[in-house]
Amino acid sequence: MSGSPSEYVITRPMRELPERMRPREIIERVGVQHAPDEALVAVLLRSGARGLNVMHLAESLLAHYGSLTNIAKAPAAELSQFHGLGPVKSQVLLAGLELGRRLTEEATPHQPRIRTPSEAAELLRETSRTLDGEVFWVLNLDSHNRLKGKPVDVTRGLLDASLVHPREVFRHAIRTSSAAVILAHNHPSGDPSPSAEDIRITRQVVAAGWIVDIPVLDHVVIGHGTGRNGFDFCSMREAGVVQFDKGKK
């Protein structure tokens, strides 16, 4: 027999499973809000594969990737190679997870007030969770610290002073007559501690903000684990690594 023992998986067909164990029946019984992840994934997939019913396919997928977030981050080409998926099911699954992310984004108030580093991190946490590379955002605020529009995606890729130019940082802020800005970017490594380059870029942008009279209130670095400060984000203002207030030492 070809293949490794780990590939030898036989499960009962869905029609032979007790009704209480079938995904649609589970959702009908407990409600979609309380259904386990594997039941929701199984409904999206609709069918299993030879020797693998859809419920066990969903469980196998979650066990392999460890979480819904990791599945959402996986390339479609990689997912399609998973036993029992293929291109169509992979596309349906990723579309369902993306809809969930957009729903979270829509639930954010149109003009939330950003008064703390924690609120800035919360605004971008869901978006940053599935990113493989660094993204630099600018949060444009009015005089009451309300967000003016969506966070502006300035650049993607490893942060470098040649890419994060103050002109691009303040372009939208000037156009929308913003009173202040907050900078933010993610660390895909998970550690939100700012690098020496992060600090250098921030100092450059802060100095430019003094010139155009649009103060930079903070630069928040978002990770996806616990950093040295015990949180999954780091405020450069709170950390004291950059001087944000003009004239203060």
Q: What is the pLDDT of residue 161?
A: 47
Q: Is the pLDDT of residue 4 over 60?
A: no
Q: What are 138-196's pLDDT values in tens digits?
A: 999 999 999 998 899 998 876 554 468 888 899 999 988 999 999 999 998 888 999 99
Segment among 34-48, 123-137, 157-171, 217-231 with least mean pLDDT? 157-171
Exposure string for 172-193, b = 16+ CB within 10 A, e = fewer: bbeeeebbbbbbbbbbbeebbe
Helix (H) or strand (E) holding 77: helix 76-79
Residues 188, 62: Cα–Cα separation, whole Å: 21
Q: What is the pLDDT of residue 157?
A: 73
Q: Is the pLDDT of residue 21 over 80?
A: no
Contact by Cβ (8 Å): 30, 18:
no
Segment among 1-10, 82-91, 193-202 with least mean pLDDT? 1-10
How would residue 32 be classed by pLDDT, with cut points 50, 70 and 90?
Answer: confident
Q: Is the pLDDT of residue 220 over 70?
A: yes
Q: What is the pLDDT of residue 249?
A: 56
Contact by Cβ (8 Å): 153, 120:
no
- Maximum average pLDDT range among 50-54, 169-173, 225-229: 169-173
Looking up tokens 């009962």 gives 12
Q: What is the pLDDT of residue 129?
A: 83
List, in order, residues 6 or more apart from 239 with CB less than 8 Å away. Answer: 194, 229
Looking up tokens 């202040």 gives 180
Residues 229, 116: Cα–Cα separation, whole Å: 16
Going by the DSSP 8-state scheme, the letter that residue 217 receives in this structure is E
Average pLDDT, the chain: 85
Q: What is the pLDDT of residue 13?
A: 55
Q: Is the pLDDT of residue 38 over 70?
A: yes
Q: What is the pLDDT of residue 146?
A: 92
Q: What is the pLDDT of residue 17?
A: 57
How would residue 23 be classed by pLDDT, with cut points 50, 70 and 90?
Answer: confident
Q: Is the pLDDT of residue 1 over 70?
A: no
Contact by Cβ (8 Å): 193, 184:
no
Q: What is the pTM of this model?
A: 0.60
Largest separation between any pair of C-alpha atoms in the chain: 76
Q: Stretch 68-93: mean pLDDT, rounded?
A: 92
Q: Sketch the domain layout of the chain as residue ranges.
A: 5-106, 110-239
Q: Stretch 25-38: mean pLDDT, rounded?
A: 88
Q: Is the pLDDT of residue 2 over 50?
A: no
Which has more pLDDT, 115 or 112?
Answer: 115
Q: Stretch 214-243: mean pLDDT, rounded?
A: 87
Residues 58, 117: Cα–Cα separation, whole Å: 37
Fold for domain 110-239?
Cytidine Deaminase; domain 2 (3.40.140)
